[in-house]
Chain A
Amino acid sequence: MSEQRSRSEAKTDAATEVEVPKEPSMLLQKELISGHFDKLAEAHERGQKVVYTFVPGNLTELLLAFDVLPVLPEINALQAGMRKKSGAYITEAEKLGHSEDVCSYVKCDIGMARTGLGPTGKKMPPPDMLLLSYTGCFTFMKWFELLKQEFPNAEVAMLHVPYQGDGIVTAEMRDYVVKQLRTEIVPKLEKLTGKKLDEDKLKGLLERSARAEEDLVWVLESGKHHPSPIDGYFGGVFYIGPIFTAFRGTEEGEHYYKVLREEVAGRIARKEGPITPLGPLNDQRYRIVVEGPPNWTSFREFWEMFAVEGAVCVASTYTKVGGLYDFGFRHDPTRPFETLSDYCLGCYTNLNLPSRTGMIAKYVKDYQADGFIVHSVKSCNSFSAGQLLMLREIEKRTGVPGGFIESDLVDPRYFSAANVKNRLESYFQMIEQRRRGGVGAASEVSP
């Protein structure tokens, strides 16, 4: 039944896709990403190696220095979700014995792996290496163990990135990661590709990363303008796409962020808002900070629920999962291993709860937000466990009311549109009512 539903949804989605206006950079982004999937499909034919790894703590510059292509299973899963294919893959994985209780990215990926295809329908090459970057998410570890079962011939390399339990990165933590890069990751990549690491090439890539990061931060911080020229959550997903995946350190990536920055600068000058699925959002009634990943299976519908109320997301934490740059960190080509370590250690889900709480509270203030919404997803305990306490703490610190909604990443069974919409409407109306500061004649009557 759910398959049937997914199919019919896919139909309406494809139909609306044509009509929805997009920012030019979004089209460029789409080209980049689908180009990468095209490149992957023929990678082995070209003799190019393929390494599977994760978005948080991805070592793209290092991989590209070895001329290997990265595959990001979370991206595959979310792309499958956006294309309404995830439901069937998850069902398939559950048939194989996976519990309904666990992460839907994993199940979607396992289900998809069995088809040999990627989310765009192109061939997905099996991994030559599984580079397990254990950063900010326990499930990653099990995920790659499961993939190892699917692809027994793949080499496995594990990069254990310690957690910022005390809210800081110590010299020993950095040193531990650097040592692993030197003794585990690099030797395995050298063995895989048959070539030595070209440090100059790596430095060149890192230099480009830093420049793109500069532009990315400028774009993300443009959400401080009134009106905000960007949607830092739904739109932000597009903006982070290239730098969180295969394009950090590349020329295309650097170019993309230049184009994006110019585009956003133009909107700032014209006092325009971002383009949402409902068109430009110039009349912004609510400035919102969002915590938690988006829902992918109903991504557009979800965004529309904000746009229709005139709500713009000025900042989000999800746009920091693949790298936290707005507190000053940039890749530093002069210290390639140390900088990669710092990058990994600093990803958002590797921060402890007090740090995350403080960061959101800071966003609420710095971006002059009217509110913040926690989107809690069933799949991701790394994000979700503790969010209710964070919500309360942030309310206490900022005096701004928090909203709480729940769904999932790519399991369509857990997105209840009516439920989410009901809460969002109630939340925005509450802000509106509080803003008016009174109900005028809130007359009292006898019961």
Chain B
Amino acid sequence: MRLVGFELKKLFVRLPVLVALALFTVFDLVKIHATVDSISYLHEDSTWNRVYREQYENYSGEITLDKINALLDIYKPLETAINDLTATTRTDVEGTLTGNLYSDKNLLERYFVDPMERFFTYKSNASATVNAAHENVQFYESRGNTYEARKNAAIAKLYQGRRVTEFYYTEGYKLYLNYDFSAILILLLVLYALSQTFTRDKECRMTELLLTSPGGGTTTIFAKIAAASVYILAVSLWFSAVDFAGFEMFSDLTDAGGLPVYAVETFREASVDLTLFAYSAVSALGRALGFWALGMVFLALGEVGRHALLPFAMGAGAFLACTLAGVRWGYSSHTLIKVLNPYSMLVNRLLFGKTEFVDIFGVPVLTWQAGLIYTAALGVLAAALAVVFGGKSKLRKGALL
């Protein structure tokens, strides 16, 4: 245990790492600010922001018919006037929210009418899906197609009883859950620290020394792997937390935290039934697992070079290849390829956000379940390889000494 502590200190609690961590955190926040600024209409010091806040008081909370009617009472006349082309384009109209009819209509449509309609109709859409799935189960059973029957039974179970009963501001989550920049920052920090986990000892000729100590050899390797794992999880979760804090700060995540994850438009087909807050945590853990697996691969690669450059380059190359594969197959219907790509666990909305199945010997398995198992297995295998290669070098050095 003490060895793990030493390894952690030696490799990771160092000035370059800490400085980079601090700088990257700032950079991440700057990028979050720019993201919110470029995608949301409510961020700037605009009239929209002010008007939105005023109106939000009236409509947030439980969705009731009264609220819907009240909203439509303002919205419908605007829509009619604009469709008739009779609306004035003046920007100082009395009795409007923003001073301009078009602006009023767009604001209401985008931030109140559309989301509320989506929330309200989700229940009926979900039950339509459940019904269709039940029908399909019967249909495919009658044709002896057991895989499709099982798949549809799983869909029916997953969508049973889904509904969104409350209206809150979900744009913040939409941005947060689609934000990937921090993955690059984590990658660089992980690559840097791990590419030298083994090579540093080699550079210092510590490996020979270590072998003569009682805690040397395999014990050291295990300690290094444990230390690296702690580091990866810590860095990955740290940036997930920074992302969350950033979007909370520049947008807003508190209100909608209790809504189900499928309330966010891009997650309407989510295959997990969690609240947005819980999903954020699960997604962060999934990403940490993905980085852990990649990290173990980097660690095993670290055995290759006589110095850290080759492992660093190979690690970056591997990540790039995974990313390119993710671009090609991330949204593909070939779900198996998606699951086998570690990139999917880093950008895990590709798995959690879709209801897709992998056919594993005739059993439909949700992509995120398959992905979790695969990623964990990949990580363990890579770690095992690191131990094996480490052990091998020990033997050879032992013979030399």
Q: Do A and B bind each other?
A: no
**Contact residues of B with A, CB < 8 Å?**
none
